[in-house]
Amino acid sequence: MLRQNGRRHGRPPGRPWRALTVLLASLPLLMLPACTSGASKADKTSPASSSRTSAAPTAIPAWAKGMKTVTPDLLPAEARRTLELIDRGGPFPYDKDGTVFGNYENRLPKQTRGYYHEYTVPTPGARTRGARRIITGDHAERYYTGDHYQTFEAVVQP
């Protein structure tokens, strides 16, 4: 590459340390065990499942085995707020919050009708309820979907 004034063309001057800093900062994450399991190629490319890992090891409950998992601290802030509202029993901002989730897509474990309930996770700037939801099960299961039931992550405690 041609040089002009001692610098390479096409590259901003200074900051040669930036790439090294990013690489070194990501090393601890590369050495941690992943907090997700059972991810398919499709899961890895979806925006809702961008590589999220937690620093704390997580015990996977039986109901979440074989699913991608996420800890609440790695969910969007709006999802954490929805989880808090669920824990308190409301009040919920949307009329459909708490209604039966039919699991028609069969992406969650099969259960009898009425086992699952859905809650809206607000999407900033959306005019409608958006695509994000928390689904709860009768035995304290919690699932997050950021793409309107196409994929789910089991929400587990650290």
CATH of the domain at 69: 3.10.450.30
Verify whether residue 84 is a known catalytic residue.
no
Q: Quick check: is 25 in a domain?
A: no
CA separation for the pair 5, 120 (Å, rounded): 57
CA separation for the pair 106, 27 (Å, rounded): 37
Run of H or E including 30: helix 18-31
Q: Which amino acid is at 114?
A: G
Structure confidence at residue 2 (pLDDT): 47
Structure confidence at residue 41 (pLDDT): 36
Structure confidence at residue 83 (pLDDT): 96
Q: Quick check: is 97 in a domain?
A: yes
Q: Quick check: is 99 in a domain?
A: yes
CA separation for the pair 18, 15 (Å, rounded): 6
CA separation for the pair 36, 18 (Å, rounded): 29
Of the candidates 84, 105, 139, 148, the residue annotated as catalytic is 148
Structure confidence at residue 58 (pLDDT): 58
Structure confidence at residue 157 (pLDDT): 85
CA separation for the pair 103, 107 (Å, rounded): 7
Of the candidates 118, 139, 141, 153, the residue annotated as catalytic is 118
pTM: 0.63
Q: Quick check: is 102 in a domain?
A: yes
Verify whether residue 9 is a known catalytic residue.
no
In order along its 158 residues, the chain shows pLDDT tens digits of 444 445 444 444 444 434 434 444 444 443 444 444 443 333 333 344 444 544 454 577 888 888 898 999 999 999 999 999 999 999 999 999 999 999 999 999 999 999 999 999 999 988 899 999 999 999 999 999 999 999 999 999 87
Domain that holds residue 111: 35-155
Q: Quick check: is 24 in a domain?
A: no
Q: Quick check: is 117 in a domain?
A: yes
Q: Quick check: is 121 in a domain?
A: yes
Give the total number of structural domains in the chain. 1
Q: Burial of 7 by CB count in 10 Å (0-12 exposed, 13-18 middle, 19+ buried)?
A: exposed
Structure confidence at residue 67 (pLDDT): 87
Q: Quick check: is 17 in a domain?
A: no
